[in-house]
């Protein structure tokens, strides 16, 4: 059974009050997320990530299409027992303490009364807020709110955790901790679906990613496969005969006796021959280690309002 199955999902917003115009925020999305994977949902700001998550959470209703979670349609209330959700830039009842907040959410998720307080404490410890359990949320920093947000998303031990931009707004240490936490949740067998516009976060964590731009899916797959598609280039390093590859027209960097250039995969054989022919000595011929960023840039033209950020 797949964890999440989305088919032809679409959402059009009505914008404006008097003269209504339509804004297609999500177009015909079809996507499958397997049980037990960490799935990255990537796209620049305004791509439609939050829209997708709100549709999956039943906060909004799709203009077209369907989605199911663990084999049940998302409109089935039963679905909510097995999912946890961290909204984008979360905000909570600021008159509650962190402990009260988590106990409240536990009760709304039907956690038995006698387990609520111990679970709340355990979750707070887990996200590093154990010391702030009795502090009112109005005194929390943005990073602390984000942690509280993660704690509330997992307090009821869900099978699938949905996180909308879980690392944004955090400092490098905080980001690292969230990454570790996502990995831990996955090790416990939970499926994690998270959105981000920061590529490096996804690159290290995800089993598979989907790239979204302007409401349209650009590609989905194992990170390595997506990268292979983008790159297809090799770096050649050789010694002596520095002009050997001039015929290929690539830019050659020469340091002392060593020359270096980047060529197309298809030119690899020709390049080896040419170097040997000119009396040079091949030192290395390696595929260029592509970054997800290259793929991202290729598939998302940063148009109006869109912003690609890599950190």
**Nearest approach, Cβ of residue 40 and ligand ADP (Å):** 13
Is 43 or 290 the residue whose CB approaches Mg ion more closely? 43
Q: How many CB atoms lie within 10 A of CB 24?
A: 15
**Nearest approach, Cβ of residue 13 and ligand ADP (Å):** 4
Pick what 46 binds: another protein, Mg ion, ligand ADP, none; C-beta below 5 to 8 Å, kind-dependent.
ligand ADP
- What would the DSSP string read from start to end of 12-81? EEEE-SSS-EEEEEEEEEEEEEETT-EEEEE--TTSSHHHHHHHHTTSS--SEEEEEETTEETTSGGGGG
Q: Which two tokens stand for residue 26?
A: 């999500």
Backbone angles phi, psi at 124, to 5 degrees: -65, -40
Is 75 or 243 the residue whose CB approaches another protein more closely? 75
Across the beta sheet with 21-34, the strand order is: 21-34, 2-15, 64-69, 72-73
User: Interface with ligand ADP by CB under 6 A: which residues?
Assistant: 13, 15, 23, 25, 43, 45-51
What percent helix, strand, coil does the chain show, rounded to 5? Answer: 35, 30, 30
Is 195 or 261 the residue whose CB approaches Mg ion more closely? 195
Pick what 191 binds: Mg ion, another protein, ligand ADP, none; C-beta below 5 to 8 Å, kind-dependent.
none
Pick what 30 binds: ligand ADP, Mg ion, another protein, none; C-beta below 5 to 8 Å, kind-dependent.
none
User: Interface with another protein by CB under 8 A: which residues?
Assistant: 13, 54, 57-61, 77-78, 80-81, 83-85, 87, 89-93, 95-96, 104-105, 107-110, 149, 152-153, 156, 162
């Amino acid at each position: 059974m797949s964890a999440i199955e989305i088919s032809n999902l679409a959402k059009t917003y009505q914008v404006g009050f008097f003269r209504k115009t339509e804004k297609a925020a999500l177009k015909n999305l079809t996507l499958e997320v397997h049980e037990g994977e960490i799935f990255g949902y990537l796209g620049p700001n305004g791509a439609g990530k939050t829209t997708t998550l709100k549709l999956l959470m039943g906060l909004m209703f799709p203009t077209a299409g369907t989605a199911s979670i663990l084999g049940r349609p998302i409109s089935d209330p039963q679905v909510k027992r097995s999912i946890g959700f961290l909204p984008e830039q979360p905000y909570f009842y600021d008159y509650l303490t962190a402990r009260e907040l988590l106990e409240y959410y536990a009760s709304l998720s039907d956690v038995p009364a006698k387990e609520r307080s111990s679970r709340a404490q355990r979750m707070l410890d887990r996200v590093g807020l154990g010391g702030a359990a009795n502090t009112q949320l109005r005194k929390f920093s943005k990073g602390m709110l984000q942690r509280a947000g993660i704690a509330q998303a997992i307090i009821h031990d869900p099978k699938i955790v949905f996180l909308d931009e879980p690392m944004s707004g955090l400092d490098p240490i905080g980001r690292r901790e969230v990454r570790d936490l996502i990995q831990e949740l996955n090790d416990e067998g939970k499926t994690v679906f998270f959105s981000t516009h920061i590529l490096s976060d996804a690159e290290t964590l995800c089993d598979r990613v989907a790239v979204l731009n302007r409401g349209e899916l650009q590609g989905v797959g194992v990170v390595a496969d997506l990268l292979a598609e983008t790159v297809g280039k090799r770096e050649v390093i050789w010694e002596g005969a520095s002009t050997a590859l001039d015929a290929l027209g690539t830019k050659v960097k020469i340091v002392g006796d060593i020359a270096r250039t980047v060529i197309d995969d298809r030119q690899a054989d020709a390049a080896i021959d040419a170097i040997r022919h000119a009396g040079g000595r091949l030192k290395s011929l390696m595929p260029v280690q592509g970054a997800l960023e290259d793929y991202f840039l290729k598939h998302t033209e940063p148009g109006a309002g869109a912003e690609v950020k890599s950190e």
